A and B are shown apart, each in its own frame.
Chain A
Amino acid sequence: MISRDEMLNLANLSKLYLSEDEIEDAMKEMDGMIDFANQIKEMSPNSHETPNINGLSNALRDDEVIESYPQNKILENVNGGKDGYFYIKKYN
């Protein structure tokens, strides 16, 4: 069983707020999901290999400056930002 403290820690790691009601439900759901995940404990892998899903390695490009997206275009998604920056309200 997942404890309330563990659940709150997970919410904190996830940057999510959970209301009192949500905490109870989330704990129940998490227990079910963990049981579901526990199926893997039935099987012991005979290797400790980590898979390489596409067989590629070190897909690196040359270390050269390449064109990027213009700042003003990027800021269009926050109504233009402010003075070329992303902008959030001032807080104390």
Chain B
Amino acid sequence: MSNSKRGIIKRIKNMLSNKEISCKELTEKYLSEIKKSNLNAYVTVCEEKAYKDAEKIDEKISSGEELNFLEGVPMALKDIISTDGIETTCCSKILSGYKPIFDATVWKKLKQNGAVLLGKLNMDEFAMGSSCENSCIGGAKNPHNINHVSGGSSGGSASAVAGNIAAYALGTDTGGSVRQPASFCGVVGLKPTYGAVSRYGVIAYASGFDQVGPIAQTVEDVSLVFDAISGYDFHDSTSNPNVKMKTFNGINNDIKGLKIGIPKEYYDGVDEKIKLSIEEAVKVYESMGATIEYFDFPEVKYSLPVYYILACAEATSNLARFDGVRYGYRTEHYKDINEMICKTRSEGFGPEVKRRILLGNYVLSSGYYDSYYKKAQNLRAVIIKAFDRAFEKYDVLITPTSPVTAFECNKKFSNPQEIYLADICTVPVNTVGIPGISVPCGFDSKGLPIGMQILGPKFSESKLLNVAHKYETFTDYKNNKCVEMGVRL
């Protein structure tokens, strides 16, 4: 059977339970396709560990024990998620050789669910970028056309899932880093509500914006993974102790009467073909009994500068810990401690990371703090209120995930701000802390995927996954070239 739009996780569970394939054989299939792959999606492959874990699952199967949904499913993690004893570098030279001594909570939870870890995935250095090309090993490629980028920063995660060399993956989303690559690679990516998933053990870029999210072939798979990783964690003081979400049982609910808002400002400067695809998708919802209303949302355009000011300020503080003393890279020659730290950081960080550290220090420095950092915080409150008002009227909002489809590799941008504009549709979600999901909704004239973004109020993941799933069941993937790639089950 070829890879179709049906969830791969359920299929794997059935195959393993029915003994059509052993977990070791399945893992071997993935590892062999990873070796053959030209996507540059993996930065570390954990062959030995994956086989060991697979054997344990096989023992469980032969003893007649029932498997849960994620048990034995070969998957991979963005290289920003700490894995005990396995190199975790954020694709930065400054963390080369660093092996965490503990597991991030999300990985601990998946491990408890019997996940088989194939390896760690490529990303923009410290999750700063929209193309994955800021990685110290070069960018992950787009499986739909390897001359195009995978998107970023979780480019390796989206590329591996789309190219069928991981059944699912985790990414992180600070300004769109799960949704935008998912959109570029034609897969599904969920950015959960801030506080819904533990950030413990996830190397921080901007702590007030970061969230871990699943990337998978289908909404159903994303829902299963989200249910496994979400929930309160004692180790993350920003995780919410009051909310428990189980989304899977509701993904087929009827959406008749759903109120959809379309914020007009999200469509400024968006490619025509993308606009058309979203309009078509919206018609599908209308045919299912949803009501559609276009509305003005002027506040949203300030999200991008607000995000870059605040995220860079937080990054400056978070990245101050990399001094070459305790882990990772350390410069060889130095004459005092200050020179050691400065040389280590200058040699260890790439240009985009340095750029953001410098901007962060600028907006936090005396004389500029009030006019940039403090004002951006005030505006963040204004944008949050504007979204609250929108969600009083509408159940969900629908927008494009990105104003463009995957651009060519090594594309020259005239300045850094030009590439920041690629985040314009995704950044508001992180500024406000709400959830957002990207689902494939068509292809452009070059055959590159288009993503539709669905947004809901805080902790509305069940509704979002339900709405996304309803659309997905309506669409088909016959134009998806990637179905013949990688592991075919």
Contacts and interface: CB of A to CB of B under 8 A. Distances in A.
Interface of A: 2, 9-11, 13-18, 26, 29-30, 32-43, 45-51, 53-54, 56, 59-61, 69, 73-74, 76-78, 86, 88-89, 91
A8 B302 CA distance: 29
Contacts of B382: 43, 45-47
Contact of A69 (B102, B237, B433): B102
Contact of A40 (B325, B328, B372): B372
A14 B302 contact: no
A77 B378 contact: no
B305 interface: yes
Contact of B359 (A33, A45, A47): A33
B302 A43 contact: yes
A15 to B, nearest CB: 5
Given A45-B379, A91-B335, 20 more contacts: A9-B365, A10-B361, A14-B357, A14-B361, A16-B345, A16-B358, A17-B342, A32-B416, A39-B304, A40-B305, A49-B378, A50-B377, A51-B384, A53-B384, A54-B194, A54-B433, A76-B99, A76-B101, A77-B98, A89-B334
Contacts of B316: 14
A51 B380 contact: yes
A79 B97 CA distance: 11
B248 interface: no
Contacts of B304: 39
Nearest to A79: B97
Interface string B362-382: 110100000110011111111
A33 B417 contact: yes
B358 A30 contact: yes
Contacts of A33: 308, 355, 359, 362, 416-417
B101 A40 contact: no
A53 to B, nearest CB: 4
19 contacts: A2-B362, A9-B365, A16-B357, A17-B346, A30-B359, A33-B355, A33-B362, A33-B417, A36-B308, A40-B305, A45-B382, A46-B382, A51-B381, A53-B384, A69-B102, A78-B327, A86-B326, A89-B334, A91-B334
Contacts, number: 147
B343 A17 contact: yes
A36 B356 CA distance: 13
A37 B372 contact: yes
A88 B346 contact: no
Contact of A16 (B101, B241, B346, B416): B346
A11 B358 contact: yes
A10 B361 CA distance: 6
B120 to A, nearest CB: 17
Contact of A61 (B234, B309, B337, B354): B234
Contacts of B355: 26, 29, 33
Contact of B365 (A13, A54, A91): A13
Interface of B: 97-99, 101-102, 194-195, 208, 234, 237-238, 240-241, 299, 302, 304-306, 308-309, 316, 320, 323, 325-328, 330, 334-338, 340-343, 345-346, 349, 354-355, 357-359, 361-363, 365, 371-372, 375-382, 384, 415-417, 420, 433
A49 to B, nearest CB: 4
A50 B341 contact: no
Contacts of A40: 302, 305-306, 309, 372, 375-376, 379
A51 B377 contact: yes
A74 B436 CA distance: 37
B361 A91 contact: no
A23 to B, nearest CB: 11
Nearest to B322: A15
Nearest to A60: B237
A51 B385 CA distance: 10
Given A15-B342, A54-B240, A88-B325, A39 B302 contact: yes
Contacts of B378: 45, 47-50
Chain A to chain B: the 7 pairs with minimum beta-carbon distance, closest first = A59-B237, A77-B327, A54-B195, A45-B378, A51-B381, A49-B381, A39-B305
Nearest to A2: B362
Given A56-B195, A76-B101, A37 B341 contact: no
A78 B240 CA distance: 35
Contact of B305 (A14, A37, A49, A86): A37
A8 to B, nearest CB: 11
Given A36-B305, A76-B101, A16 B354 contact: yes
Contacts of A46: 382
A59 B305 CA distance: 30
